[in-house]
Amino acid sequence: MMSAIILLHRWLGIAFCLLFAMWFATGIAMHFVPFPSLTEAERFAGLAPVDRPAERITVADAVAASGVADATRVRLIQRSDGPVYVVSGPSRLRAVRASDGQDARVTSSDIARVIAQDHARSRGLDAARTTLLAQADYDQWSVPNGFDRHRPLFRVALADPAGTEVYVSSLTGEIVLDTTRSERGWNLVGSVLHWIYPTVLRSNWALWDRVVWTLSLLALIAAMLGALLGILQIKVRGRRMSSPYRGWHALHHILGLAATVFVLTWIFSGWLSMDHGRLFSRGQLTSAEADAMNAAPDWAAASSLDQQPISSSAREIEWFAFDGNVYRRDRIALDSQALARTEEASDAGQAGFLSAREVRGLTTRLAADYVGPAILASNDDYPARSAIQGAPVYRSRCGELWFDIDGADGNVLQRLDPSRRAYRWVYSALHTLDFPILMARPRLRDALIVGLCALGFAFSMTGVVIGWRRLRLSLTA
C-alpha cells in the first residue's frame, strides 16, 4: 500500500507541480486585481440624463413593440442617438426607440463608437481619439456567460493614458464592460492562468467546466496523497520529529507539513469553485419560484406611472414588476432613487424603497411555509448588499430556506438553503478567507493571503525541482 501511495503521488506530483505553483502565485495577483468588470458606479457615471421628449410611447407600447412576451423590467436610458427603452424578461432582451418603438439595436460601428465616446466623457475619461477595435462574440475579457444576451459586442479603445477599452452591446447599445491596460496585464498573469481561462476553451462553457473540474479533482487527490505520505513518513526520536529525507526532498517534506492544512483546504475549496450543482445547490430559484418571481404584470397598469413627470436629473428610469404590481424607480444618483407605485401597490411607509410589507407579499408566493415578517438582513455571515448604497435588503425566512430581496429594485439577491449556506463556508470562506473576523481587518486578511500563498508557492516549487529531476532521470534511463 505504501509503495502504491508513493508511486501515485510521485507521478501525480510530476504532472501537477507546475499547476500548483501557478495557482498559488496567480492567487496573489487575483486577490489584488480581480477579473475586469464594469462596476455599478462606473456604469451609472457613464449614463447621460434622460431627455424628456414631447413624443414618447408608453411603457405598455414599448413592451408590445419589443415582442418580449414575458417582460418583467423596462428601463429608459439616454443614448447618443436618442432615448431607448430596454425591455427584458427571463428569456430575452431587446431595445426599442422611445419615440416610435422601432428596433434600437446597434448595427453601425460609427454609432457604437459615438456611444462609447459619450459614456467616457460622462465619466470624465479622455475620449478624443476613440477607435473601434473589433466586433465579436468573444474575446479574452468578454467570455463570462453574463454577456450572452449582448453578443456580439463592439470593442472600442479610448486611447486614454490608462489604455481603457469599453464594450458596447449590439442588442441595447449599453456599455457592459470596461478594461484598462493594467487590468488586462495583471489578469493575464492572474485570473486567466488561475481559472485556465483561454478564450478558445472558456467560450465553450460545458467543455471548460469539465476540464477544470477534472484537473482540480486530480490535483486534490495528489495533495491528499502527499499529506498522507508526509505524515506517515515523520520520524520520531525521543521528543523530536524529523524527516527521513535529505536535500530537496527534505525541504519538500518540511514545507509540506507546515502548509498541509492550508494546501488541502485551499485546493479542496478551489475544486468546489467548479461544483456548479454537483454536490451543493446552486442558489438558483426553482422553476415554481421563478414563475412567481417573474410573473409578467399588466403593463397597461403602468399608465398612471407614465403620467408622472420625469426628473430633469434622472439618468435611468426603470419600471419593474413585483408581486404582480408595477413600480417605477427614477435613478437620480448612484445612492439615490425615487420609487413610484401604482394605486394597487400604494404604500406610503417607504418613499424610496420597497417596504417590508410589500416584500412579505411576494415571499408568501415564493414559498408556502413562509414564517415571520421580512426583516432587514444585517451584515452577517452571509452578506448581500444592494447596488444602491443605503437601500434595505430584506431577509425572508421560509423554514430552512432564506430569501434576500433588494428593497431598491425587488431582485432576489440570494436564495440560501442549508446546502448553499454550507457551500458559503466550505468554498468561499476557505478559499478567500472572507471570515467575518478577517473581513473586519482587511490588512490582516491581505497579509494572511499573501503569506499563505507564498508558502504554498515555495512548497510547490520544491515539487517542481524534484519532479524535473525524477522526469529527467526516467528519460535518460
How far, in Å, CA of 355 to CA of 241, rounded? Answer: 63
Q: Evaluate whether 222 touches 9 at the Cβ level (below 8 Å).
A: yes
Q: Evaluate whether 232 touches 241 at the Cβ level (below 8 Å).
A: no
Look-up of cell digits 456580439: 152
Q: How many CB atoms lie within 10 A of CB 328?
A: 22
Least confident of 70-74, 196-200, 240-244, 371-375: 371-375
Report pLDDT for 125: 96
Q: How many residues does the chain have?
A: 477
How far, in Å, CA of 147 to CA of 140, rounded? Answer: 12
pLDDT tens string 139-198: 999 999 999 999 999 999 999 999 999 999 999 999 999 999 999 999 999 999 999 999
How far, in Å, CA of 9 to CA of 91, rounded? Answer: 48
Where along the chain do its domains lie?
2-35+195-280+438-470, 40-186
**374 pLDDT band (50/70/90 cuts)?**
low
Contacts of 167 (CB under 8 A, 6+ apart): 141, 142, 147, 153, 154, 155, 156, 175, 176, 177, 178
Beta bridge partners of 88: 73, 93
Least confident of 94-98, 291-295, 374-378: 374-378
Mean pLDDT score across all residues of the chain: 92
Report pLDDT for 379: 66
Mean pLDDT value across residues 88-99: 94
**352 pLDDT band (50/70/90 cuts)?**
confident
Mean pLDDT value across residues 451-455: 98
Q: Which stretches of 277-409 are assigned E, i.e. beta strand? A: 316-322, 325-333, 336-341, 375-376, 393-398, 401-406
Report pLDDT for 129: 92
Mean pLDDT value across residues 438-460: 97
Report pLDDT for 360: 85
Q: Evaluate whether 69 touches 296 at the Cβ level (below 8 Å).
A: yes
Mean pLDDT value across residues 221-246: 90
How far, in Å, CA of 20 to CA of 92, rounded? Answer: 41
Q: Evaluate whether 222 touches 23 at the Cβ level (below 8 Å).
A: no
Report pLDDT for 130: 94
Crossing angle of helices 205-232/2-32, nearest 10°?
120
**415 pLDDT band (50/70/90 cuts)?**
very high
Crossing angle of helices 442-476/2-32, nearest 10°?
140
**Collapsed DSSP state (helix, strand, coil) of residue 26:** helix
Q: Strand 325-333 vs strand 336-341: parallel, antiparallel, or unpaired?
A: antiparallel
